Structure 1
Amino acid sequence: MPRYDLAGRTVLLTGSTGGLGAALARALRERGANLALLDLDGDLARQQAAGLGPASAARGWAADVRDLAGLQSAADAAAEHFGRIDVAVANAGVGSMAPLERIDPAAWERIIDINLNGVWRTFRATLPHVKHTKGYLLAVSSMAAFVHSPLNGPYVAGKAGVWALCDATRLEVRHYGVGVGSAHPTFFKTPMMDDVHSDPAGTTLWGGNKSGLWKMIPLETVVDSVVTGIERRSPLIVPTRTNAIAARIPGLVRPLVDRIGFRGTTIPDAIAQASETGWISRR
């Protein structure tokens, strides 16, 4: 398949000011893409856009992925401003760490609503514009779609749902000439991972993500793979070769991960240290 040249195309990105979002925005701009930057903090998104180029190349809007009408309004405004939307990247996401029997129900519902329903809303709001350009929809999922860790019930359920949603949507829109993909990075440095490492339950469960199965990979590796995946209009983007194997054969890998990844009393020890909201403190 020929390379999908991003120069002069418009990419809409949710969660644009977060760790991955900000890095993706810079990399996409370097490829010559125009950027419609959507974030819950509109002022921060506008500041981000100003740092990436003139308004003709990057502009920010306030948008909440829990609000379909607001997302639709922002997508329509971006399409009017740039004249088109070629790619929509559903990147906004949150996490938590708490066992099913103790997690605050509001925390569960918030995570599912942002991580899964937020992708649906982003796709729904942008599809009319992406159909017009025969473009590409991408959702940032996770290796958690395939490797289901304890104390992460709503997160892994949401990310697995995103993977399934992308597969289903791909079939629904292929006759329009629209591509759909899901990206599945493993652990990498973000503010969300800072929350994990500040939580005793997270540190116990993942061991600080310093080695072994849970070792973090560089942010740059994730960004490069996602941008390359967009240029290839890939249906599945996995940053490392080892993880790609796990993504393609989760049914075979899962029992091995269970035995190697969570030895002894690791899981009950982490459960004993978990808070109801999933984090020790909320910002």
Structure 2
Amino acid sequence: MANTIKLNVNDSAQVQLPQKVSVLTAEPNVWLLIYSGIAVQRQRAEGSSGFLGIGAHTSETDAVVEVTIDRISGVLLQAATSASMANILEEETWGQWIISSTGLSIRDNGDLVLTVNTSVTGEGDAEFWSFYYNVSAKLVLDEASISGNIRWSKNLATPHASTHFSISADTKVTVAIPGQFPFDKVTVEAVGLEGSVNAADPNFYIVPYTIKGALLGKSLTVAVSPIPAAFTPGPAFGFGELVVTQTGGASPIQLTPANRHISGVDFEMQFLPAPK
């Protein structure tokens, strides 16, 4: 069974001399991206030449090398890939080095991954240390997004001409430390932007929002918090606080290169009275 070796272009010990060229084509949002570099796979096969030719045998090492060359939000339309030997070593006896296939794919988290199938066979010490790669990819680049509306009763509060809510797409991981109670660690993956307040509805103020960013391949929840200073209290105000609850759309949210946008993740702001 072949070894699986995972390399990343952001690690100089794994990929050397990485290069990228971006060319916008005549088609909307369609780019030609060209990548090259040297992937350090470090494979070795060590057989034996025997004694006076007796007992000679070969050793073979196969590797499926997965090189993450970029992270994008989009769709892969076409690709041409190639790889060739960059650094090999053979000590005195017979050896063979093979690159049998190359290919390109986009993973659910947006990783653009070059896959290269390699093998090295040696009667003595044969090392297949690295290979050169070249990738040309035609892609639609389209940043992932989450959108929806936040509404509240006109009797609740009047908005000022300012930012009214703190909006973010978050991931949450439960952390367990020996001797302590488990707790949730929340990471903000992207921050949302509000649109203009829409007062056309007779009963509600409505604020649209959009979140864009590195959203692919994650389990996301949208967090919305009111900024109290951005409102003038209405008749419903007393002792308590403004709270926002989700009223529509998925939770959690999973975005992929094939499903990059979700809308209708809606919220409503209400007043939560203080305990009496």
Output the TM-score relative to the length of structure 1.
0.23
Output the TM-score relative to the length of structure 2.
0.24
Which of 1 and 2 has greater Rg?
2
